[in-house]
Structure 1
Amino acid sequence: MTLDKRLGQRFLPYGANYLDWSDMAELREVIDHQVLFRYQTETESMASRLERRSAERLGARHALAVHNCTEALRLALISTRPSVGDLVYVPAVTFVAVAGAVLSCGLIPVLVDADESLSLDPTLLPPDARRVVVAHMEGTVASLPEGVPYVVEDCAQSLGARFADGRHVGTAGYAGTFSFHHNKVLTSGEGGLVVTQDDDAWATMRCYHDHGSARVPGHYPTWNPDAHFGENFVTSEQVAAVQYQQFRHLDELLAGLERMYAIAMAELPDRADLQVRPRAAGDVKVSLRFRCESRELRDAAVAALTAEGIANWTLGKYLLTEHPVLTGRRSLYADGFPWNHAPEGPLVLSRDGFARTRDLLDRTLCVPLSPELAEQDQVLAVKAVRRVLEAV
């Protein structure tokens, strides 16, 4: 019998384990109201309640709910009012959605190599950089560059993380984006959120996300005389209701992750060739990251954990320098847009051709933590991981 079955676990991360019909008061309210479109309500919509609640929780001036985090990234970039072909510096280690969001805005991604934490290395940026996306990957709080007017924080995997000064990730740059995809800290299956402290940025994003309109609750639709075009990124009431329910459990979830992380750091084997990497105080402890002495040892650990039914993953899939979306420069437009506006040559910034980063990725192993488990079950789960890794 696998570990998951013994402990009654499913391989569903974080927020999914807090979904329960008995706790869905907001969703029942939306269904009873029988209005699922947020701008059709004459009173405060569930989406507006979610935005208000999330902005308060994160310490942001404004929040806007959308379909997914990719749309949130697009809104943040579009609100900077760029020109087609402008460069956007993005992490070389992140999900391809970041580069896709940049390209779909008519902008050109430049891959920036990672530092030791596998976050974007801000020291590689040129002094004239204007737009930078920094990804807080797997709950790790990344360093933000200074002197860049438009720093977009991709917080898809780090909801609840804080900088050393106490600010939430997503609130220190120009804008922050969050995901409610199934594999994220909180989930509604899909869903996104963009936050900003900038009044003008929020006004632009709000109009663009709804066909350029200036929606007035209960009055459908309304446009200002100076309206610009936009797209439909408007979230629905039922999705917002699930997200609101999820926010209610955020502190409980974060505390559960912290508790299991502390147990793991005290229990896991002290091996020089297979080290668990410590996390900073403000990180969201979504997983344990192990750094192995070699790729071969990493692969052996993966095989042993998998055989015991212990969830784990590696990070090589996040290296964008080898992703076909970027290496092929293909486009659905006949003229190759927006790649036809890209400069010639490689669009990368690295001191060693990403050799060090490839090596780090090849030797890194992640094991998720389970915040929903009771403490005694967290101890059992950690002991199972220890038993497997000691035998590798």
Structure 2
Amino acid sequence: MAGAEIFNSDEVRAIADVIERKMIHRYGSHDSRGGIYRAEDFEEKAKALTGSKYALALSSGTAALITALKGIGIRPGDEIITSPFTFIATVEAIVACDAVPVFGDIDETLSLDAASAERLITPRTKAVMPVHMFGVAADMDAFTALGRKYGIPIIEDACEVVGGTYKGRALGSIGTCGTWSFDPNKTLTVGEGGMVFTDDHDIWYRMDCYHDHGHIHSKEHDRGAEGKFGLGVNYRISEVQGALGVVALEKMPAALAALRASKKKIVDAGAAAGLTPRPMHDAEGDTATHVIFMLPTAEAAKRFQAAAKEAGAGCAIIADNTWHYAKHWQALAEMGGREYFGNRTPSYAPETMAQAESLLSRAVMFGLNIRMSDEAVDGIAKAVRTAAKASL
């Protein structure tokens, strides 16, 4: 699903325009850039697509997560509840803020379970971070209600689901803050890049300053003459990434339509063969980057995997996924049960993730590309039917 597979002359023209104007930095040089700000154009287009009041383009999805946490005021020792089924950047962002990750259980959709998250709330809980994984939304009605009930910010990690929706609303735009990623492995890419959304002006202002060394941005002052809000970091994107981002968002509807058409053929083939597709809180909003079937047992999943490979279409069992399942992260396990900024971290031992294990060990997954031939899609569908017979 790497977004570069849909690169063409559109991206070449967008980059050439930036190079020819010799205007690489997103800020400053107001008198010589002719009113053209490509990173800002990227943000404006993202706001229009999501309905968010504020959008900030950043250097990566990880930077977006860290900046969101800084924006809501996360401090050392604060606890943030999230999912053990995610990309490690979710946890890295929490730890980068010297905060403590606390894992809830996942539900049948493989998303963070809101009831589980509620049971984990303590006076130290300063945010809940549901993760929309492999194209599918978490239960945002439940998380929105949870945030209101306890006065806790909800940070949507929507880095995996650019373009996805939940009951008609763009994923990333529903919580207090939400994040997108545009890295090389995402459906849409600008090389490396991310985006953070919010409807709260004060949060946006803090994030805007923080991501660029604390600078207060204003077109009334040129670069270097602006004031300082405080200390920050450098998570800026360039005008090249901004130009690529505008093109990527223009291509998003066609990319999602292609993925959804491919997924439907494969899911329909599996359902006809008796397989259970991964349930969803809102199937219409699925970005369709992955096809996941839930087998009745872990042993059945292994039989399915072996038969699918033999039939010419390999698939993964998600419990074995070292990139997206916290059970496999040794560095995190070593943090467990230690004093950390005045608090003791929970255990991150594999046995604490029994609920996740029971679901992920039964989940078989096929990743999809945007551009797939009919033969490739039909090949997966055929392998799915064959593997179903061997496993059910």
In the alignment, structure 1 residue 98 sits paired with structure 2 residue 96? no
The partner residue of 1:264 within 266, 284, 291 is: 266
- 311-320 vs 227-236, greater mean Cα deviation: 311-320
Number of matched residues? 368
Partner of 1:286 in structure 2?
289
Q: Deviations over 1:109-164 (max 9, x none)?
A: 11111111111111122275431111001111101322243111000111111112
Q: 1:16 to 1:329 in 2, by over 3 A?
A: same
Report whether the alignment pairs 1:79 with 2:71: yes
1: distance between equivalents of 2:2 and 2:345?
Answer: 42
Matched, 1:197 2:167: no
What TM-score results when the alignment is normalised by the length of structure 1? 0.85
What is the aligned partner in structure 1 of residue 335 from structure 2? 329
Q: Determine if contact 1:50/1:244 at 8 Å carries over to the other structure.
A: yes
2:130 is matched with 134
Q: CA deviation at 1:387?
A: 5.1
Which residue, 362, 375, 389 being the options, matches 2:387?
389
Write the mapping of 1:91-170 to structure 2, written as runs, cut at 5 A.
91-124=83-116, 125=118, 126=121, 128=123, 129-144=125-140, 145=143, 146=146, 147=148, 148-164=151-167, 166-170=168-172
- Counterpart in 2 of 1:380? 378
Q: Does 1:319 align with 2:346?
A: no
- The alignment's C-alpha RMSD in Å is 2.6
1:338-386 per-residue CA deviation (whole Å, 9 max, x = no partner) reads x531533625799x94323202111111112343246x44653444433
CA distance in 2, matches of 1:345, 1:50: 39
The 2-side partners of 1:348 and 1:135 are apart by 18
**Paired residue for 1:24?**
12
Provide the residue aligned with 1:299 in structure 2. 302
1:111–1:320 contact (8 Å) kept in structure 2: no
Contact kept? 1:215, 1:221, Cα under 8 Å = no
Q: Is the 8 A contact 1:55 1:61 kept in 2?
A: yes
Q: 2:208 is matched with which residue: 194, 197, 206?
A: 206
Distance 1:220 1:21, change over 3 A: same
Q: Given residue 103 of structure 1, which amino acid in structure 2 is its aligned partner?
A: V
Cα gap change, 1:387 to 1:91, in 2 (>3 Å): closer
Q: Alignment partner of 1:354: what SS?
A: helix
Query: Partners in 2 of 1:80 and 1:348 — Cα distance?
Result: 25
Shift of residue 294, structure 1, vs aligned partner = 3.0
Determine if contact 1:112/1:348 at 8 Å carries over to the other structure: no
Q: Tell me the CA shift for residue 282 of structure 1.
A: 1.6
Cα distance in 2 for partners of 1:293, 1:360 equals 10
Separation of aligned partners in 2, 1:388 and 1:244: 42
User: Which residue type is aligned with residue 330 of structure 2?
Assistant: P
Q: Which amino acid letter does the alignment assign opposite residue 136 of structure 2? A: T
Unaligned runs of 5+ in 2: none
CA contact (8 A) 1:162 1:283 kept: yes
2:190·2:241 contact (CA, 8 Å) conserved in 1? yes
* Gap change, CA 1:177 and 1:222, over 3 Å in 2: farther
Contact 2:100 2:345 in 1 (8 A): no
- Per the TM alignment, residue 251 of structure 1 is displaced from its structure 2 partner at its CA by 0.4
Taking a change above 3 Å as real, the CA distance of residues 239 and 313 of structure 1, as seen in their structure-2 partners, is farther
Query: What residue identity is the alignment partner of 2:240?
Result: Q
Identity %: 26
What SS class does the counterpart of residue 316 from structure 2 fall into? coil
Quick check: 1:33 aligned with 2:21?
yes
